[in-house]
Structures are given as C-alpha cells and as structure tokens.
Amino acid sequence: MRIALFTETFLPKIDGIVTRLKHTVEHLQRQGNQVLVFSPDGGLREYKGAKIHGVAAFPFPLYPELKLAVPRPSIGKALEKFRPDLIHVVNPACLGVAGIYYAKTLDIPLLASYHTHLPKYLHHYGLGMLEGVLWELLKVGHNQALLNLCTSTAIMEELSSHGIERVDLWQKGVDTEMFQPHLASAKMRSHLTQGHPDSPLLLYVGRLGAEKEIEKIKPVLESIPNARLALVGNGPHREALKEYFAGTPTYFVGYLQGLELASAYASADAFIFPSRTETLGLVLLEAMAAGCPVIAARSGGIPDIVTDGVNGFLFDPDDQNGALKATERLLQDPDRKETLRQAARQEAECWGWAAATRQLMGYYQKAIASGSISLAA
C-alpha cells in the first residue's frame, strides 16, 4: 500500500503527535508499505525508509515552535509521481488542506485523524471567542474524509456533537520496550531533584504551553514537605512558568529523549498531568509503561487510560485541591504506590505500537474499499 501522510508537525519537533507518527511510519514501512510524508521542512528527507517531502514553513506567531507550511504546487507533482493508494491528513489546518484538495482533485481516498484539541486551546491564548468558528472550519475539513480517527472515546463523542461525521477510534500505543520500570536510576533521580534524591519527586513531561495548565502543580509542590518538581520539555510558556515557579524547588530540565526520558519516568515518585485539553495524553502511557504512578485530570481522553485507584489517580480539574489530595493519597501509602506501579505497567503492556498500526491498516483498507473521496461529500 502506498500512503501519503500530511502532517502539520513532524521531526525534528518533539511532541506527542510526532511520537505517534514516528512509530506509525516505522511500523507501516516494516509491514511492506511505502509512505511519503508531507510536513513543514525540518531538514530531513527520510525516516525509517519513508521519504519526507518538506515544505517551506514559517513560525506560528502564538507558538513559535510550531511551523506553518503553506501548500505549494510541488506537492501535487510529488503526489502524481508517488501515486498513493490513500491520503491520510493529520490535524488538517494549513498543509493538511493541500491533502484534502489533492484527494478530491486526483480522486484518491482520504482519511483524517484528530490529535490536538485546538478549539479548547483557544481559551488559553485569549481567543476563546473564535471557538465556534474553528469548529465550523474543522467540520468542513474533516467531513471531506471517508473516515475520521480519534485517539479517545471522549473526543469521538465531542467531534460527533459538533457535526463531524464518520468518526472511529484509533487505539493508543506506547513503546513498552523503551519505557520500563527497571530503568529507574539513582543518578537520574539526583539530577532531576538537583541533588536531593531523598525528597519526593514530582514529574511533568510535555509541551510547556498555557493550555497544559502546569500552574496547577504549584500548590501541590508547596503543600508536600520537601517535594521537588521536574518539568521536562519546552514550549512558548516556559519563561512565564519560570517566573511563576520562582522561589520553588522546580527544575526546568528541557528536552529528554530515548533512554534518558525513560529513566526520568521510572525514577520519579509521581507523574502529574493537570491538562484538561488532551485528546489522549501519550506521555501518560509512557509514564505508566515506566511504572511511574500517574495523577491526572479527569478530562478528555485521559479516563480512557487511567482507572482511578487502579493504575493511577484522577482528580476533578475544577477542584482547586483535587491534584493535591490525589498526590497525598499516593505518597502517604507506599504499599499502594507499588501496587499502582505494577498495574500501570500491566495496562501499558496492552498497547504496543505494532497492534495500533495493524488497526490503522485495517482502517486504510476500509477507506480504500469505500471508493473515491466523492463518496464522503
């Protein structure tokens, strides 16, 4: 099968979407498919055997790390040469529009997937009044597709409630070979706690964006004796967060990858994730695979991953003390913490990338069998 994948973000950027796409591309190629990735130009021309067609891009003003690529005629020429059996657009917003256009123009089956809850993000950047407009634009784009994949049941329901049709679930995935509990390290723990390895270590991994509501961790940090916080990642809200957490034992680690990231997860006492805008929360699965107990907001796609009291703790995002109470429940009962670690790992082991990609291949075959894009109009 020949698959043209349009994405608004890809390597060398680091985020949950890129992680999913990396593993998806690798497993698609392993299974004998040919993938051509259209993405903002990051300097790469190939990944795991898949060709990358980079498109000139410029920084998005509200989020400079995100590059926007404007569709160009070279895309059509590359598609005609590649002759895909299917086009898959990921979060169609700018470059993805080209994927939708050429699917119609060249009469190629189109599948779309939804990963970033952009309408909810608007409220964290002072643009909440545009949410209704954005939903309408998303509906127009996604309803061109024969199938729209979501990464959680909650997001499936929300998209359907806003008029997006033909939705289905693309199961979660995590690299259970990379993220493992035995990678806990005294050296990494000392690094993350800045030389205080005996102190309770709270960990956050992900984009440092306003929509992640990382500020909600501060009351937890201040209320637990000697607790320390490590924030792994980067983003446009970093400087504001540095100012907000000034005077607290918070360490801005920056990016970690590979075994270093796996060791960070495994070395922490708790992974805290207060965001309520997650379509899935891939970092939660990574933490669970590494045996790190999760404390997360009961919102979006998170309850699809975390079962309260079984493999982590959930809290009401509208309860100002919710995260603190959940963290105290975890840290005050060492035996329960160990039980949660084991249950978290067991849950993660159910969700390897190979299985997620086989499921995706089934959706691709379904879309191709449904016929041309005109059937979705």
Res 375: pLDDT: 39
pLDDT digits (tens, 9 = 90+) for 132-164: 788 889 999 999 999 999 988 888 999 999 999
> Contact at 8 Å (CB) between 189 and 197?
yes
CA distance 33 to 178: 24
Q: What is the pTM of this model?
A: 0.78
The domains found in the chain, sorted by start residue, are: 2-173+352-372 (3.40.50.2000), 181-348 (3.40.50.2000)
> Contact at 8 Å (CB) between 292 and 184?
no
Q: What is the DSSP string of 202-242?
A: EEEES---GGG-GGGGHHHHHHSTT-EEEEE---TTHHHHH
The set of long-range contacts for 224-229, using a CB threshold of 8 Å and a minimum separation of 24, is 224/200, 224/324, 224/327, 224/328, 224/331, 225/200, 226/196, 226/199, 226/200, 227/199, 227/200, 227/201, 227/202, 228/192, 228/193, 228/194, 228/196, 228/199, 228/200, 228/201, 228/202, 229/202, 229/203, 229/204
The SS3 call for residue 251 is: strand
> Contact at 8 Å (CB) between 185 and 251?
no
CA distance 293 to 268: 9
CA distance 357 to 175: 12
All residue ranges of the chain with pLDDT < 70 are 62-64, 117, 119-125, 279, 371-377
CA distance 347 to 5: 29
Res 332: pLDDT: 87
Res 63: pLDDT: 67
Res 121: pLDDT: 64
Res 119: pLDDT: 62
By DSSP bridging, strand 110-114 and strand 147-150 are: parallel
Omega before residue 12 within 30° of 0, cis: yes
How many Cα atoms occupy the beta-carbon half-sphere of 219 within 13 Å?
11
Res 272: pLDDT: 97
CA distance 118 to 91: 9
Res 87: pLDDT: 98
Name the residue among 205, 300, 299, 297 with its Cα closest to residue 312: 297
